[in-house]
Chains A and B, each alone.
Chain A
Amino acid sequence: MTSALFIEQLLNGLQFGVMLFLMAAGLTLVFGVMGLINLAHGALYMVGAFACATVANATGSFSLGIAASIAAAAAAGAIVEIAVIRRLYTRDHLDQVLATFALILIFSEGTRWIFGSFPLFLDVPELLAGPVMLPGGIQYPLYRLAIILVGGLVAVGLYLLIAKTRLGIRIRAGESDRAMIAALGIDIRFLYTVVFALGAALAGLAGALVGAIQSVEVGMGEPVLILAFVVIVIGGIGSIKGALVGAILVGVVDTMGRFLLPQFFQIFMDNVNANSVGSALATMLIYILMALVLIVKPKGLFPAHG
């Protein structure tokens, strides 16, 4: 194993983590501020990918596609919040899970009804296509580097938004005491819609970015959703910082596990068994990580509420 391979895998883990962060940030905000479990977050990711593919194919411009993905997911998020989610804040978590699960089915079948059952075409833009040579002789896809960069920018942007703006102050206030900020005359309903749309927009952006290197198809959001939940549980529910750290931790551990575990088992097993045991264990690794984190810190790494 060369160091170039090792560094390439670290970059892969980082890129995967950044992508998970985009998903987890919205999920953790919605849970932290409104106390809502939103299973339909993956559906918004799918909306973003489909909007990006449709617009990019129609106009030939990937940047317009990205803009469309953010706009479409935010709009879908706002509509869903006003039409359905708003009625769920006072209900218990089981009702929320049931209602948002229904939303998954509605979004999936609706998308199939409009776009059909075959995956859509979405490729990386010409400008970001192909690999680049990094120092140290590492060849790495330019597009994945761009995802890392975008994720970094979003993390900084979110930090500034939450820490430095009036909206951010309201969001934080909403997290710690809902009744009080309503009493102070802040339109809490509007704030909730904005937060939900913001989370949806981030999911849509993630869907569009990932759609270009994976596949744009119905049901693409749910596997990512599960990972995003793992991330926010590890990071501490409601904490953006926790989501960032958790996402990168999960991304790196998962990637390195897939790469290193089979090799590790080859030391004392024959190849076929080592591959099979190693890859089976690698798929469980992040859940083991989650269990370990919860043993040491039951509320996650950076709990939002003390």
Chain B
Amino acid sequence: MKIKSILGAGLVGLSMIAGSAMAESVKVGMITTLSGGGSGLGIDVRDGFMLAVKQSGNKDLSVVVEDDARKPALAVQIADKMIQSEKVDILTGIIWSNLAMAVVPSAVNQGKIYISPNAGPSQLAGRGCHPNYFNASFQNDIMSEGMGAYANKTGLKKTFIMAPNYPAGRDFLNGYKRFYKGELAAEVYTKLGQKDYAAEIAQIRASGADNVFVFLPGGMGIAFMKQYAQSGVNIPVMGPAFSFDQGILKAVGQNAVGAQNTSHWSKDLDFPGNKTFVEAFKKEYGRLPSLYAVQGFDTASLILSAMKKASIKDTDAFRAAIKEADFDSPRGKLKFGNNQHLIQKIYVREVIKEGDIYTNKVIGVALESHQDSYAAKCKM
């Protein structure tokens, strides 16, 4: 014990000589969804994260990854284990808002830094914001707010809006309504996990709407787009990026071409950091990156950039260094707002066929440097 503390003191002394950018090891615990429904998202986040770690060659960063199987209780267990026995410094990885709400508040109150690579529940952006909580992805509402703004810009007057009947579904439709000024043809809530949309498509056909806004993540979106293409209804479909991202497009194919969607990132954005990222990801994993991969990559880059500037032991300095986000993100230079969520540009993309693969192309900007609507409620 005594020898250990002397050694420790010696190390501290050495590191002080070495200056502020010394090698201090940082341990990251990643809790993400790697099995069961929606595991494609977790895998992309993990792969994006690991790509940044590998590129940096930083040996002082170690990562433990565990699968939460999309179960809140399991995520809480893993978080406790990572904090208490693995002694991680930073937690990250959670995909789903309900899991984030189960893990994040307790983790940040125990003094751990949490950086969200996907989930962005409104509670953590507003009153529940915390100095230890960073969001490197998006606040849930901003994509549909962007689509609402874009609908106004393009003169759309009558929208049919639809989402699953659960909290995030209602958030997304409310986000759209917050910005959209026209009339609603109908507002439809479907069962979460519903795979057959024949009844809803018949309503869309009869509604006389001039566009359709849907938030249907994962398999729900695949099913809807395929059935919609078969139905012969040709009212344009719009939605947040989640139903039109790289993993999904492979399964929807031709049926999604022409669909417009809002995103904070696209593969064809003209940033130096983006080109190198897309190339490197393709080379490493043999597939195109999704927006989830970008979020994982940026989460790791935030940690790596902060490690260059501050010691993890000095929480205040480390948090400040994260907030500077001193690196070239595939989304350009990242900028945090007062609630430590990103202030970012929302692009409008369109699904196209490029050679043999289906992907997205940027066709416009919905909102310039947009901050989420909950930031004002955050007292930071």
Contacts and interface: CB of A to CB of B under 8 A. Distances in A.
B231 A214 contact: no
B230 interface: yes
Nearest to B170: A276
**How large, as a class, is the contact surface on chain A?**
35 or more
A129 B254 CA distance: 12
Contact of B230 (A4, A108, A131, A275): A131
Given A121-B250, A275-B189, A259 B203 contact: yes
A55 to B, nearest CB: 17
Contacts of B39: 112, 117
Interface string B181-193: 0000001111101
B173 to A, nearest CB: 10
Given A118-B247, A119-B251, A217-B219, A5 B203 contact: yes
B227 A218 contact: no
Interface stretch (A8-16, A76-84, A180-188, A295-303): A8-16
B198 A255 contact: yes
Interface in B13-67: 34-37, 39-40, 43
Given A5-B206, A218-B37, A118 B251 contact: yes
Given A220-B219, A259-B199, A130 B40 contact: no
A215 B255 CA distance: 13
A267 to B, nearest CB: 15
Interface string A45-75: 0000000000000000000000000000000
A119 B219 contact: yes
A144 interface: yes
B40 A117 contact: yes
Contact of A2 (B36, B43, B206, B231): B206
Contact of A123 (B35, B202, B254): B254
Interface residues of B, number: 39
A122 to B, nearest CB: 8
A290 interface: no
A214 B196 contact: yes
B199 A214 contact: no
Interface in A133-154: 139, 141-144
B325 interface: no
A1 B206 CA distance: 8
Interface in A225-274: 255, 258-259, 262, 271-272
Chain B at the A interface: mostly helix, strand, loop or mixed? helix
A112 B39 CA distance: 10
A121 B251 contact: yes
Interface string B239-260: 0000000011011111100000
Nearest to A112: B35
B127 interface: no
Nearest to A251: B196
Given A217-B37, A276-B165, A143 B230 contact: yes
B279 to A, nearest CB: 21
A108 B247 CA distance: 19
B195 interface: yes
B205 interface: yes
A108 B198 CA distance: 27
B166 to A, nearest CB: 11
Contacts of B34: 117
B223 A215 contact: yes
State the 5 A-B residue pairs at the shortest beta-carbon distance, nearest first.
Answer: A131-B232, A12-B198, A215-B222, A119-B251, A214-B223
14 contacts: A2-B206, A9-B199, A16-B198, A117-B34, A118-B247, A119-B222, A130-B232, A142-B230, A217-B222, A223-B193, A258-B200, A276-B165, A276-B189, A283-B165
Given A119-B251, A124-B226, 14 more contacts: A9-B199, A13-B199, A16-B196, A117-B43, A131-B231, A139-B205, A144-B230, A213-B196, A213-B223, A214-B219, A215-B222, A259-B199, A275-B189, A283-B165
